[in-house]
């Protein structure tokens, strides 16, 4: 079994300048395709929720968004045990060697299903009070996870361009499905999740063919399972605890202030949702790039790689955040059409959300940096701190003040989390915390 071992730089920083410079220059094309792929994903998801906000009432939009956030959180548990270890172990090396771990990751996803799918059913029913919605969400979540697994295998080798066809089918296909359901008068919360399930199957088939799955022996599966557990065991409880600082916000908002308030929260955040492709797309580049640079040259050599990507994102996003702050009502009108009149009383909250998303960009980027260093234990420690802040301030603020409390509480949580990441990154680079790395394990 390949286990994480303390890793020292193979070369001095000066000796690594040439190869490191080539790595940074090569990031340009990868970064473009990463943003393109994530742009397709996030733009389509954004369009889907925008269309729902235009075509459905506040209550249905609120139910859909709460159930969807529950799916995101449960997907995070799969990410901890499967996608994150696959990313770290698969970074660098021969692409053929990735086929075994990718196939194993699909098998592990199916083995987790008896635990995660019923959890989704319970969460979906409690959020919607509709059995049909819960069943549709369960099916959609499992098929979505399978597609995300093969997609992550491609991203692990920075093959972002290869992700685009399957992701177009998965996410743009969802938009087409919603349009068809709307035109045929069959659009509701359950059928919206049915659309996700159908396109997830098609995208999984395409991306599985691109990865090139391989037969995996039982002994290799056991070895990989132990290796994945070694990497993901700290991230799992971290992602479990993340319920306090993620989906619990909308759960509390819905419980204390109704599905209509949850729908309003979904609508007024739309002008900022359009920036998600940059945040998530660049984070998807940071983790494998940092992991690759650390393996080849050491943890300190990964710093200029991560800083360059974060700076690029900040330059891209800042002008748009300022535009939203200056013209919040215009932005709501642009994204919601005539429906923006239903949300005029919440217009001032758009400015608060601009600050929220600006901090989120740095939080996501710094977390991806720590993840690339293989420090899932530090991610867990950070999550404990976040959970304390969420329980002590953010969730009570949401229960008492509704959306105002939700946004302000989230800003506080994100700021604390970002500060933790900065401290841990500096500790790893200074040698106070040993970096963890190892060669990819493959059958």
Tell me 437's DSSP state.
Answer: E
3-state SS class at 436: strand
pLDDT of res. 281: 78
pLDDT of res. 20: 43
Q: Which of 55-69, 289-303, 367-381 has the lowest mean pLDDT?
A: 289-303
The tokens of 427 are what? 């500790």
Please choose, from the candidates 68, 50, 87, the residue with its C-alpha nearest in 3D space to the C-alpha of residue 141: 68
Average pLDDT, rounded, for the chain: 83
pLDDT at 211 exceeding the cut of 70: yes
Q: Report how far residue 224's alpha carbon sits from residue 377's, in angstroms, rounded to the nearest whole number.
A: 19
Whole-angstrom CA distances from 365 to 278, 385, 436 are 10, 18, 19
Is 58:258 a contact under the CB 8 Å cutoff?
Answer: no
Q: What residues contact residue 122 under an 8 Å CB cut-off, 6+ apart? A: 134
Q: For the whole model, what pTM was predicted?
A: 0.72
User: If you search the block for the tokens 């709460």, which residue do you land on?
Assistant: 66
pLDDT of res. 399: 95
pLDDT at 233 exceeding the cut of 50: yes
Alpha carbon of residue 286 to chain centroid: 13
Tell me 301's DSSP state.
Answer: T
Mean pLDDT over 103-115 rounds to 90
pLDDT at 71 exceeding the cut of 90: yes
pLDDT at 164 exceeding the cut of 60: yes
Q: What residues contact residue 254 under an 8 Å CB cut-off, 6+ apart? A: 62, 66, 127, 261, 262
The tokens of 281 are what? 């797309």
Alpha carbon of residue 340 to chain centroid: 28
Q: Report how far residue 407's alpha carbon sits from residue 388's, in angstroms, rounded to the nearest whole number.
A: 17
pLDDT at 94 exceeding the cut of 70: no
pLDDT of res. 310: 92
Q: Report how far residue 205's alpha carbon sits from residue 397's, in angstroms, rounded to the nearest whole number.
A: 44
Mean pLDDT over 328-351 rounds to 87
pLDDT band of residue 419 (cuts 50, 70, 90) is very high
Is 54:111 a contact under the CB 8 Å cutoff?
Answer: no
Is 232:81 a contact under the CB 8 Å cutoff?
Answer: yes
The tokens of 108 are what? 């592990």
Q: Report how far residue 5's alpha carbon sits from residue 17's, in angstroms, rounded to the nearest whole number.
A: 24
The tokens of 289 are what? 């790039």
pLDDT of res. 90: 63
Over residues 253-267, the pLDDT tens digits come to 999 998 888 889 988
Share of the chain above pLDDT 70, in %: 88
Over residues 4-46, the pLDDT tens digits come to 434 444 443 433 344 444 444 544 555 677 777 777 887 888 8
Find the distance separating the first CA and the last CA of the chain, reported in whole Å: 10
The tokens of 371 are what? 């993840």
Q: Report how far residue 437's alpha carbon sits from residue 197's, in angstroms, rounded to the nearest whole number.
A: 36
Q: Report how far residue 206's alpha carbon sits from residue 211's, in angstroms, rounded to the nearest whole number.
A: 9
Is 247:330 a contact under the CB 8 Å cutoff?
Answer: no
pLDDT band of residue 289 (cuts 50, 70, 90) is confident
Q: Report how far residue 181's alpha carbon sits from residue 187's, in angstroms, rounded to the nearest whole number.
A: 5
pLDDT at 246 exceeding the cut of 70: yes
pLDDT of res. 4: 40
Higher-pLDDT residue of 372 and 395 is 395
pLDDT of res. 28: 52
Cα torsion 54, 56, 58, 64: sign: negative
Mean pLDDT over 98-104 rounds to 81
Q: What residues contact residue 30 under an 8 Å CB cut-off, 6+ apart? A: 158, 160, 285, 289
């Amino acid at each position: 079994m390949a286990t994480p071992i303390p890793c020292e730089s193979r070369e001095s920083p000066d000796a690594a300048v040439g190869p490191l410079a080539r790595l940074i220059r090569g990031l340009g094309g990868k970064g473009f395709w990463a943003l393109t792929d994530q742009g397709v994903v996030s733009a389509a998801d954004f369009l889907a929720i925008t269309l729902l906000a235009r075509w459905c009432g506040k209550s249905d939009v609120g139910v859909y968004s709460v159930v969807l956030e529950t799916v995101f959180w449960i997907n995070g548990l799969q990410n901890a045990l499967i996608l994150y270890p696959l990313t770290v172990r698969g970074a660098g090396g021969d692409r053929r060697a990735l086929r075994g771990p990718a196939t194993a990751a699909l098998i592990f996803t199916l083995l987790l299903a008896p635990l995660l799918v019923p959890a989704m059913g319970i969460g979906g029913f409690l959020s919607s009070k509709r059995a049909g919605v819960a069943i549709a969400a369960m099916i959609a979540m499992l098929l979505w996870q399978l597609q995300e697994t093969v997609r992550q295998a491609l991203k692990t080798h920075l093959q972002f361009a290869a992700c685009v066809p399957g992701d177009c089918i998965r996410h743009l296909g969802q938009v087409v499905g919603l349009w068809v359901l709307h035109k045929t008068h069959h659009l509701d919360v359950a059928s919206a999740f049915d659309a996700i399930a159908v396109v997830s199957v098609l995208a999984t088939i395409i991306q599985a063919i691109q990865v090139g799955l391989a037969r995996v022996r039982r002994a290799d599966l056991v070895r990989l399972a132990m290796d994945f557990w070694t990497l993901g065991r700290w991230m799992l409880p971290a992602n479990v605890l993340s319920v306090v600082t993620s989906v619990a916000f909308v759960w509390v908002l819905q419980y204390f202030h109704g599905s209509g308030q949850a729908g309003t929260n979904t609508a007024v955040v739309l002008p900022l949702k359009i920036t998600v492709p940059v945040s998530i797309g660049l984070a998807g580049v940071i983790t494998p790039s940092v992991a690759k640079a650390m393996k080849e040259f050491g943890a300190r050599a990964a710093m200029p790689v991560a800083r360059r990507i974060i700076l690029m994102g900040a330059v891209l996003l800042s002008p748009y955040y300022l535009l939203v702050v200056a013209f919040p009502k215009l932005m709501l009108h642009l994204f919601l059409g005539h429906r923006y009149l239903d949300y005029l009383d919440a217009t001032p909250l758009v400015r608060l959300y601009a600050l929220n998303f600006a901090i989120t960009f740095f939080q996501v980027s710094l977390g991806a940096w720590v993840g690339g260093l293989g420090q899932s234990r530090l991610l867990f420690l950070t999550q404990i701190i976040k959970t304390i802040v969420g329980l002590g301030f953010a969730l009570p603020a949401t229960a008492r003040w509704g959306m105002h409390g939700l946004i302000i509480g989230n800003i506080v949580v994100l700021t604390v989390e970002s500060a933790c990441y900065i401290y841990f990154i500096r500790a790893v680079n200074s040698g106070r915390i040993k970096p963890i790395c190892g060669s990819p394990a493959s059958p």
